Structure 1
Amino acid sequence: MRYAELPDGDARGFFGDEDTNGSLNRQTPEAVRLAAQAVQTGDVFSLNAPLNWPDPPLYSRSEVRHTVLTTPLGNLDDYLDGFYPQSSSQWDGFLHIKDPEIGFYNHLPREKLGVHTWAQKGIAGRGILFDMPRWFERQGREMRWNERVQIQVSDLEEYRVSAGIEPREGDVFLIRTGWTTGWQAATVDERAALRSSPNSPGLADGRDMLEYVWDWGVSALASDNPSLEAWPLGPGFLHPHLLGRLGIPIGELWWLDELAEHSAQDGRYECLLTSAPLNLRGGVGSTANALAIK
């Protein structure tokens, strides 16, 4: 079913009346088998930032405190305080944002949703890297990491064609904006200024983008910036539509630089993408625990 055929852009019942996994259902055994064909060199890239990154934490979150202790048996154990599963490289679960009109994904009550259902299924599929700073540079344009630049559908489509990528059901978009690169190079004062308002490039909002990703058949979207979308957010805010209406998971603050450098060298922008969300019942979000294998 095309996006234009979904009533009010709502995929309720599309994957089943009681479904809790949304577009991750597109990652069928056949889709995963085809995704594995992207593995040619065997190079593995972790897409995960340290748990205590960014430093300082965004959105006034507290810092993660890691305590290592010695047990009465003499072995070491450790625990975390102030840990936000969505503070570093992470997934936004379907409970993260409620659509103001329909509520949570598939019109289900809060009690039936949570990242634990994703964990029980696992995430695996073809990852498609959209290295937008390099693409913009080739077009004679500039993408500053701390300014609001909207990545339009036309940018994604032109990139896709130039990279020789054919859309496939179950793909995961990996959108590199250069935000993590910029943050790493920023001064302490620059980071402090952006802590509560992390301006960044990102996907353009609005119906055209929703239609593009749904009709492609994506299973999830992930980016290296704090919001997936360009920040500050626009009037056509994507989050409630992606999470609440279409059931498309959103990843943010993923580390994509090393993967992008490798792809720029070998000219291949696809990989096998795996992720193991936290098996946390009722969890609102999860660490990404993501790997890209080429």
Structure 2
Amino acid sequence: MIVPAYRDLPNGDAKGVFGDDDVLGTLNRQTPEAVALAATSVRSGKVFSLNAPMELPDPPLFDRGPFAHHVYQTRMGNRDDWVDNFYPQSSSQWDGFLHIAEPEIGSYNHQPPHRLGIEGWARRGIAGRGILLDVERHLATQGETLHWHTERPITVEELEATRVAQGVEWREGDVLALRTGWWTGYLAADAEERDDVRTRHDSPGLRAGAEMAAYLWDNGISAAVADNVSVESMPLGPELLHHLTLCRLGMPWGEMWWLDALAQDCADEGRWDFLLVSAPWNLTGGIGSPANALALR
């Protein structure tokens, strides 16, 4: 399949690129060949969970309430449990195509909502080579401390500088894993700082704009995940990278991923690639899903 360059997409809209009825977007770049090649990133056999504890952040963000976990004993004597008030996007999670709508086109590939539930991704599964760009660590070598709770747009040039410093090359179907140090800062924060995050979500992240969308698209990225709240920098501006990628390009977003242990191992080995596997919830009409993601090295 020949995928046009970003500059050749009308208004940055990938409608029809992967088929008029497509509901997978850039996950189509995770071809069998790309997945088989991604498996060669597994060398040491180490496995890293990329999922934060479900009860974090605590208190929950975006006016969500905490969930309640109930454990009970059945009549057969075994234990069972259920969860009340659980938000699938409350911790490490995927934004599905229904999470946000672009004012001009609606959702990805101009599809009606009933076709874009998270079950489309779940039935296929997500697997490919992940590349961790540890921007927080790279900027520290340049003398800049990236504060987890302060707005700081990360530019294309800074992504490229990190990539070059880490010695990695993009391949078609790669997943970008961006580390900003958000979880490191959050876990070290006191109760007052954590409470402040509920209503003031300022954080470093990707700079919104067509230049960033073009960088991700033209480098063959199949999905973008980050350890911060929204992948892009917050507070959000008038132009949303979510609109340019999730809606127009059909590029899945993953937020609040648990990347610190993986990043440390990558730094220790001087190798920043891994096999990423994720099984989103097979929930018909689902808006998002817990990440359910593993990195294998």
TM over 0.5: yes
Q: CA deviation at 1:162?
A: 1.9
Aligned to 1:216: 219
Contact 1:207 1:236 in 2 (8 A): no
Q: CA deviation at 1:235?
A: 2.6
Q: Where does structure 1 lack aligned partners over 5 or more consecutive residues?
A: none
Distance 1:165 1:263 in 2: 12
TM-score, normalised via structure 1 length = 0.99
Q: Of residues 18, 22, 32 in structure 1, which corresponds to 2:21?
A: 18
Q: Of residues 143, 146, 166 in structure 1, which corresponds to 2:146?
A: 143
Q: CA deviation at 1:158?
A: 1.3
- CA deviation string 1:205-240 (max 9, x = no partner): 111100000000111000001111111012321011
Aligned to 2:190: 187
Residue type of the partner of 2:234? Answer: W
Q: CA deviation at 1:290?
A: 0.4
Q: Is 1:120 aligned to residue 123 of structure 2? A: yes
TM-score, normalised via structure 2 length = 0.98
Q: Of residues 197, 202, 208 in structure 1, which corresponds to 2:200?
A: 197
Distance 1:133 1:19 in 2: 36
Aligned to 1:47: 50
Q: Is 1:255 aligned to residue 240 of structure 2? A: no
Contact 1:222 1:228 in 2 (8 A): yes
Q: CA deviation at 1:12?
A: 0.3
User: Which one is further off, 232-241 or 256-265?
Assistant: 232-241
SS in 1 for 2:176: strand
Contact 1:51 1:64 in 2 (8 A): no
Aligned to 2:86: 83
Residue type of the partner of 1:225? Answer: N
Aligned to 1:236: 239
Shift >3 Å, 4+ stretches: none
User: Which one is further off, 221-230 or 232-241?
Assistant: 232-241
Q: CA deviation at 1:199?
A: 1.2
User: Which one is further off, 79-88 or 192-201?
Assistant: 192-201
Residue type of the partner of 2:212? Answer: M
Distance 1:179 1:268 in 2: 22
Q: CA deviation at 1:141?
A: 1.7
Contact 2:132 2:176 in 1 (8 A): yes
What percentage of aligned pairs have identical amino acids?
A: 56
Residue type of the partner of 1:263? Answer: C
Aligned to 1:165: 168
User: Which one is further off, 20-29 or 134-143?
Assistant: 134-143
